[in-house]
């Protein structure tokens, strides 16, 4: 008997060791991040330092620290800072992406639950009576009433022999990392949109002041032509021309309110506010973009959340391929059932009322029309497509940085030239006004000078706004204040979350 027990224990130990060894297997390819398009340039092509006459905008020195955190504070605009802080709290799109991230974390917990056995129970009570007209039954069973009380407990566990569950957990973890990167990318998008709309509004306020000043100047010109007409120095056509010019300027000044109102309403939506209850005070302002640290081109891969999301998507798809490989292997299920069963309540949980059964089962698909092979080919094709998407994301990122650098640089050059044009137009208007007052030139020449001066002023204001918008787009293209070190690791996204994070919002 001792030998029998010893052999049984040894067999059980060997079986457990074999099961543990097999459970350590994980099929599927090991993930290695694909190589991005090679970056050989030591600096960006469109950096202003490489060009002459770049105006009043400068770039930060290469050794300056890159942007971190609240990137909008480099503009040193307190009103913008306040709006951005509200955005972080009340923007509804950001909340959507945050809940998507929380959903992705819950999927990790769902996948990890498969590591554990499933335990179920279904207590029951049944009272029955047999028929009294059963001629083939024993006399004792005819018309008999009986009770049956059951309290079964079923345990089922499928060991992760080929790493299917581990691949599913990794897939969920990488998916949560993708969701985290998408959340950061959405934050950056909303932050940049707010900054752009803010500078657009300030530009509209500056344009409004230009047109208001023009209306005042045109009114004075109309008064002058009327007085000259009344004294017989000029003819009535000059009065009509001056009146038409004034009316046109007033119409343009009124039209500016459309764009400003729309930008204001857009900011209200970004802040999660009803547009009817939100307003931004009028404040004509023109800005010069601050020096923006660009860093080295090779650093861009670590600074863009969309690139991080594309790379983590590859890791997620690689885990999916592992799941596809695991489908080819058999699955082992260990099942056990036990509990208590009795005909009376008093003996329901007595020790003799116990029952149990235990036994493993192995399942393997012998033929399904090569379904698993087709699915595996599908997963590989998706992965290869995502590799191309990742590299395209990198290429687009460099394009956006170079586009923004060139736009801010060229706008800076154009502003210098446009400022000279405004100065010349103002001098032209002053000379023509003097010549008209002395009767040398007709009023039509003054009108031409007025239109030239107004057009040049408007162009200057629009270019200045476009340069500020371009600087915000440059910050966005560089990834804002984010870098890949802020992306949560697989273990961090797997940590338990507070129950309050999953409460229904009202």
Q: Tens digit of pLDDT for each residue in 347-405?
A: 778 888 888 899 899 998 898 899 989 999 999 999 999 999 999 999 999 999 999 99
Q: Classify residue 408: in a domain, yes or no.
A: yes
Contact, 266 vs 188, CB < 8 A? no
CATH number at residue 83: 1.20.1600.10
Helix (H) or strand (E) holding 22: helix 2-23
Angle at 350 between CA 344 and CA 352, to 5 degrees: 100
Matching residue, tokens 């023509």? 432
Q: Classify residue 295: in a domain, yes or no.
A: yes
> Running DSSP on this structure, what letter comes out for residue 41?
-
Q: Classify residue 133: in a domain, yes or no.
A: no
The predicted pLDDT at position 46 comes to: 80
Sign of the C-alpha dihedral computed for residues 61, 67, 68 and 74 taken in this order: positive
Reference 378, options 316, 317, 314, 312; nearest CA is: 317
pTM > 0.85: yes or no = yes
Q: Classify residue 205: in a domain, yes or no.
A: yes
**Cα radius of gyration (the chain):** 38
Q: Classify residue 36: in a domain, yes or no.
A: yes
Domain count, the chain: 1
The predicted pLDDT at position 505 comes to: 72
Matching residue, tokens 């009294």? 132
What's the length of the chain?
A: 506
Q: How many angstroms separate the CA atoms of 439 and 150, rounded?
A: 116
The predicted pLDDT at position 6 comes to: 39
Q: Classify residue 383: in a domain, yes or no.
A: yes
Q: H helices within 24-160, ranges in order?
A: 78-90, 92-112
Domain that holds residue 424: 23-125+161-332+371-499
Q: Classify residue 6: in a domain, yes or no.
A: no
For residue 126, the cross-strand partners are 148
* Residues of the chain where predicted confidence (pLDDT) is lower than 70: 1-26, 50-57, 59-65, 130-132, 134-143, 500, 502, 506
For residue 118, the cross-strand partners are 156
Q: Classify residue 4: in a domain, yes or no.
A: no
């Amino acid at each position: 008997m001792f030998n029998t027990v010893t052999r049984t224990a040894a067999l059980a130990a060997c079986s457990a060791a074999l099961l543990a060894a097999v459970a350590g297997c994980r099929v599927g390819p090991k993930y290695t991040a694909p190589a991005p398009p090679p970056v050989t340039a030591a600096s960006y092509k469109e950096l202003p330092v490489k060009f002459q006459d770049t105006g009043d905008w400068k770039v930060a020195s290469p050794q300056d620290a890159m942007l971190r955190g609240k990137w909008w504070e480099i503009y040193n605009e307190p009103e913008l800072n306040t709006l951005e802080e509200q955005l972080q709290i009340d923007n509804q799109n950001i909340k959507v992406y945050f809940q998507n991230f929380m959903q992705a974390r819950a999927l990790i917990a769902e996948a990890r639950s498969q590591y554990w056995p499933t335990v179920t129970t279904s207590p029951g009570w049944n009272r029955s009576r047999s028929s009294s007209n059963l001629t083939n039954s024993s006399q004792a069973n005819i018309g008999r009433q009986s009770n049956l009380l059951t309290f079964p407990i079923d345990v089922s566990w499928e060991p992760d022999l080929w790493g299917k569950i581990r691949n599913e957990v990794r897939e969920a973890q990488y998916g949560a990392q993708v969701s985290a990167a998408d959340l950061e990318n959405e934050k950056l998008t909303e932050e940049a949109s707010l900054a752009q709309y803010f500078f657009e509004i300030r530009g509209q306020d500056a344009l409004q002041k230009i047109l208001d000043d023009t209306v005042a100047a045109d009114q004075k010109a109309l008064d002058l032509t009327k007085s000259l007409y009344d004294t017989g120095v000029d003819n009535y056509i000059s009065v009509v021309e001056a009146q038409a010019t004034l009316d046109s300027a007033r119409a343009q000044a009124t039209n500016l309110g459309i764009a400003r109102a729309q930008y204001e309403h857009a900011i209200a939506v970004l802040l999660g506010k009803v547009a009817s209850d939100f307003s931004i005070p009028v404040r004509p302002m023109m800005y010069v973009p601050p020096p923006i640290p660009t860093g080295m081109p090779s650093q861009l891969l670590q600074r863009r959340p969309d690139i991080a999301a594309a790379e983590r998507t590859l890791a997620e798809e690689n885990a999916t391929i592992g799941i596809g490989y695991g489908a080819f292997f058999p699955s082992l299920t260990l099942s056990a059932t036990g509990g208590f069963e009795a005909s009376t309540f008093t003996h329901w949980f007595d020790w003799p009322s116990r029952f149990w059964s235990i036994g493993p089962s192995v399942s393997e698909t012998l033929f399904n029309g090569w379904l698993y092979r087709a699915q595996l080919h599908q997963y590989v094709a998706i992965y290869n497509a995502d590799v191309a998407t990742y590299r395209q994301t990198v290429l687009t990122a460099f394009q956006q940085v170079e586009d923004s650098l060139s736009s801010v640089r060229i706008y800076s050059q154009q502003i210098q030239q446009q400022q000279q044009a405004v100065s010349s137009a103002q001098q032209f208007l002053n000379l023509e006004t003097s010549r008209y007052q002395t009767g040398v030139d007709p009023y039509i020449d003054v009108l031409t000078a007025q239109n030239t001066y107004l057009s040049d002023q408007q162009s200057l204001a629009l270019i200045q706004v476009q340069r500020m918008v371009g600087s915000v787009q440059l910050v966005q293209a560089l990834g804002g204040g984010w870098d890949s070190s802020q992306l949560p690791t697989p273990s961090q996204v797997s940590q338990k979350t507070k129950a309050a994070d999953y409460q229904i919002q009202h």
